[in-house]
Structure 1
Amino acid sequence: MSRTIKTQLMKYSRLAHERGLTAAFGGNLSIRRGNLVFIKATGAVMDDMTAEQVAVIDMSGRQVSGVRPSSEYRLHLAVYRTRPDVRAIAHLHPPYSIVASTLVEGELPIITPEAEIYLKRIPIAPFRPAGTEELAEVTSGALQNSDAAIMAKHGIVTVGKTLREAFYKAELVEESAKLWYMGRKV
Structure 2
Amino acid sequence: MIERMALVKYSRLAHERGLTAAFGGNLSMRRGNLVFIKATGAVMDEMTAGQVAVITLDGRQVSGVRPSSEYRLHLAIYRGRPDVRAVAHLHPPYSIAASSLLEDELPIVTPEAGIYLGRIPIAPFMPAGTEELAETTVAEMGDCDAVLMARHGLVTVGRSLREAFYKAELVEESAKLWYMSMTRR
Which TM-score bucket, shorter chain as reference?
over 0.9
Unpaired stretches in structure 1, ≥5 consecutive residues: none
In the alignment, the residues of structure 2 paired with residue 21 and residue 126 of structure 1 have an alpha-carbon distance, to the nearest angstrom, of 21
Q: In structure 2, how many angstroms separate the alpha carbons of the residues matched to 1:39 and 1:154?
A: 19
Task: Look up the match of 1:14.
Answer: 12
Deviation at 1:143, TM superposition (A): 1.8
Residue 135 of structure 2 aligns with an amino acid whose one-letter code is E
Report the counterpart of residue 64 of structure 2 in structure 1: 66
| Alignment partner, residue 136 of structure 1 | 134
**Match of residue 123, structure 1, among 117, 121, 124:** 121
| Partner residue, 1:99 | 97
SS of corresponding position for 1:184: helix
Match of 1:76 among 68, 74, 77: 74
Deviations 1:32-87 (A, max 9, x none): 00000000000000001000000000001000000000000000000001100000
What residue in structure 2 maps to residue 31 of structure 1? 29
**How many Å apart are 1:106 and its aligned residue?**
0.3
| Aligned twin of 1:5 | 3
Provide the TM-score with structure 1 as the length reference. Answer: 0.98
Distance 1:144 1:101 in 2: 18
2:48 to 50, 65, 79: 50
- The Cα shift of 1:103 comes to 0.6
Partner of 1:180: 178
In 2, Cα distance between equivalents of 1:102 and 1:29 = 23
Q: Which letter does structure 1 place at the counterpart of 2:25?
A: G
Distance 2:58 2:80 in 1: 14
1:162 and 1:53 map into 2 onto residues whose CA distance is 20
Runs of 5+ consecutive residues of structure 2 not aligned to the other structure: none
In structure 2, what residue type is equivalent to 1:95? P
* SS of alignment partner, residue 39 of structure 1: strand
The percentage of counterpart residues that share the same residue type is: 77
Partner-residue secondary structure (3-state), 2:30 = strand
Please, what TM-score do these two structures have when normalized by structure 2?
0.98
Equivalent residue letter for 2:167: K
Alpha-carbon RMSD across the aligned residues, in angstroms, is: 0.7
